[in-house]
């Protein structure tokens, strides 16, 4: 995995953030180029919606632009901080979804297919996993995304999630069990 701190380039992230804090637009473009694919990936997997993920990425980088001067290198790596911002924005959207559902129950009973019908009917295994990911607890999903899809170490993922490594490993284990149960249930129902 590529690291931002090397003897050859010093602390590229720290330099870029300092330049962004000073209003350097080309530095911001470079930061977006470096971080956007990972932020989009995290947001898409957390939300299950590419359009919402793009909105989260845009808001994440807007916050980077506005708050770059407040980031302190000694507290966390910049990539840890930017991931945390994106994930918090994802949780805000997930909470709003629940609030909207709770505030406005349907007038009539829905008689369409069950919510997991798409999961059971999909032929593509990766699509089945994506759908199952949306059905597990958000913190378990977050841990799996950071470790398995973002290829972060347990230490880095735990820092982003603001939990201990033991707590992260527990979330990973529960998330894997939940995914396995959903996918096995689908096989048994199919």
Looking up residue 78, the CATH number of its domain turns out to be: 1.10.1740.10
Same domain, 40 and 99: yes
Query: Which tops the pLDDT comparison, 87 or 117?
Result: 87
DSSP 8-state secondary structure symbol assigned to residue 145: I
Same domain, 14 and 48: yes
State the residue range of the domain holding 49: 1-105
Residue 189, domain member (yes or no): yes
53, 43 contact by CB (below 8 A): yes
Distance separating alpha carbons of residues 185 and 190, to the nearest angstrom? 8
The CATH number given to whatever domain includes residue 156 is 1.10.10.10
Distance separating alpha carbons of residues 52 and 149, to the nearest angstrom? 19
Is 141 strand, coil or helix? helix
Phi/psi at 67 (nearest 5 deg)?
-115, 10
Distance separating alpha carbons of residues 171 and 137, to the nearest angstrom? 9
pLDDT digits (tens, 9 = 90+) for 88-145: 999 999 888 776 554 555 554 545 455 555 544 446 778 888 889 989 999 999 999 9
Instruction: Give, to the nearest 10 degrees, the angle between helix 165-189 and helix 154-161.
Output: 100
């Amino acid at each position: 995995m590529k690291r931002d701190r090397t003897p050859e380039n010093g602390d590229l992230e720290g330099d870029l953030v300092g330049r962004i804090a000073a209003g350097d637009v080309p530095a911001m473009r470079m930061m977006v180029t470096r971080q956007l694919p990972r932020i989009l990936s995290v947001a898409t997997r957390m939300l299950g919606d590419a359009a919402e993920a793009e909105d989260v990425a845009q808001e994440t980088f807007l916050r980077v632009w506005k708050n770059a001067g407040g980031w302190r290198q000694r507290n966390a790596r910049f990539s840890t901080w930017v991931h945390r911002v994106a994930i918090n924005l994802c949780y805000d959207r997930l909470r709003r979804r629940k609030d909207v559902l709770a505030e406005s129950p349907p007038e009539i009973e829905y008689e369409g297919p069950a919510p997991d019908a798409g999961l059971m009917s999909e032929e593509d295994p990766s699509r089945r996993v994506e759908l199952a990911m949306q059905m597990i607890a958000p913190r378990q999903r977050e841990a799996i995304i950071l470790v398995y899809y973002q290829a972060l170490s347990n230490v880095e993922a735990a820092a982003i999630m603001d939990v201990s490594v033991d707590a992260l490993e527990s979330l990973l284990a529960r998330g894997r069990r939940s995914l396995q149960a959903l996918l096995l249930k689908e096989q048994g129902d199919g």
